A and B are shown apart, each in its own frame.
Chain A
Amino acid sequence: MQRHLISAADLTRDDAVLILDTAEEMARVADRPIKKLPTLRGRTIVNLFFEDSTRTRISFEAAEKRLSADVINFTAKGSSVSKGESLKDTAQTLEAMGVDAVVIRHGASGAPYRLANSGWIDAAVINAGDGTHQHPTQALLDAFTMRRRLVGRDAGIGQDLSGKRITVVGDILHSRVARSNVDLLHTLGAQVTLVAPPTLVPVGVETWPCEVAYDLDSTLAKSDAVMMLRVQRERMNAAFFPTEREYSRRYGLDGDRMARMPEHAIVMHPGPMVRGMEITAEVADSDRCTVVEQVANGVSIRMAVLYLLLGGNEPAVSHTRTEEK
Chain B
Amino acid sequence: MDKQDTSDIQASDARPVLEGPDIARVLTRIAHEIVERAKGADDVVLLGIPTRGVFLARRLAAKLEEITDRVIPVGSLDITMYRDDLRMHPPRALARTEIPGDGIDGRLVVLVDDVLFSGRTIRAALDALNDIGRPRAVQLAVLVDRGHRELPIRADYVGKNLPTSLRETVKVQLHEEDGRDTVLLGVKQT
- Complex interface bits, B96-117 against A, C-beta within 8 A gives 1, otherwise 0: 1101000000000000000000
What are the residues of chain A within 8 A of B131 when measuring CB–CB?
A: 32, 34, 36-37
Chain A residues with Cβ below 8 Å from B94 are 21-22, 25-26
Range class of the B interface residue count: 20 to 34
In the complex formed, the residue of A with least CB distance to B3 is A324
Stretch from B24-32, B54-62, B81-89, B151-159 forming part of the interface with A: B81-89
**A312 CA / B90 CA spacing, docked (Å):** 4
Q: Which residues A253-282 have CB closer than 8 A to chain B? A: none
B145 is an interface residue with CB less than 8 A from chain A: no
Set of chain B residues within 8 Å of A315, measured between Cβ atoms: 90-91
Interface centre among B86, B88, B99, B133, by most chain A C-beta atoms within 10 angstroms, is B86
Measured CA separation A38–B86 after assembly (Å): 11
A48 part of interface (Cβ distance < 8 Å): no
Say if the beta carbon of A316 comes within 8 Å of chain B: yes
B13 at the interface (CB under 8 A from A): no
* Complexed CA–CA distance, A28 and B97 (Å): 8
Interface of B, secondary structure class, is: loop
Does B126 lie at the interface of the complex (its beta carbon under 8 Å from any beta carbon of A)? Answer: no
CB proximity of A218 to chain B, nearest CB, Å: 42
Over the window 302-314 of chain A, the binary record of Cβ atoms lying under 8 Å from chain B Cβ atoms (1 yes, 0 no) is 0000011001111
B99 partner residues in chain A, CB cutoff 8 A: 32
What residue of chain A has the Cβ atom nearest to residue B124's Cβ? A38
Q: Are A37 and B89 in contact (CB under 8 A)?
A: no
Q: How far is the CA of A321 from the CA of B91 in the complex (A)?
A: 11
**Chain A neighbourhood of B90, CB < 8 A:** 312-317, 320
Contacts of A18 in B (CB 8 A): 93
Contact, CB under 8 Å: B132 / A37: no
Within the complex, what minimum Cβ distance (angstroms) separates B183 from chain A? 19
- Is B88 a contact partner of A25 (Cβ separation < 8 A)? no
Whether A320 and B93, one on each chain, are in contact in the complex, defined by CB atoms closer than 8 angstroms, is yes
Q: Contacts A25-B94, A320-B93 hold; do A37 and B81 have CB atoms under 8 A apart? A: yes
Q: How far is A307 from B86 in the complex, measured between Cα atoms in Å?
A: 10
Q: Say how far A206's CB is from chain B's closest CB, in angstroms.
A: 38
Are A33 and B132 touching (Cβ within 8 A)? Answer: yes
Q: Is A44 part of the contact surface with B, judged by Cβ < 8 Å?
A: no
Tell me if B127 and A25 are in contact (CB < 8 A): no
Which one of B78, B89, B133 has the highest number of Cβ atoms from chain A below 10 Å of its Cβ? B89
B131 nearest in chain A by CB position: A34
Given contacts A33-B132, A39-B81, A307-B81, contact A21 B93 (CB under 8 A): yes
A32 / chain B contacts, CB cutoff of 8 Å: 99, 131-132
B51 to chain A, nearest CB (A): 8
Q: B residues engaging A (CB < 8 A)?
A: 3, 51, 78, 81-82, 86-97, 99, 127, 131-133
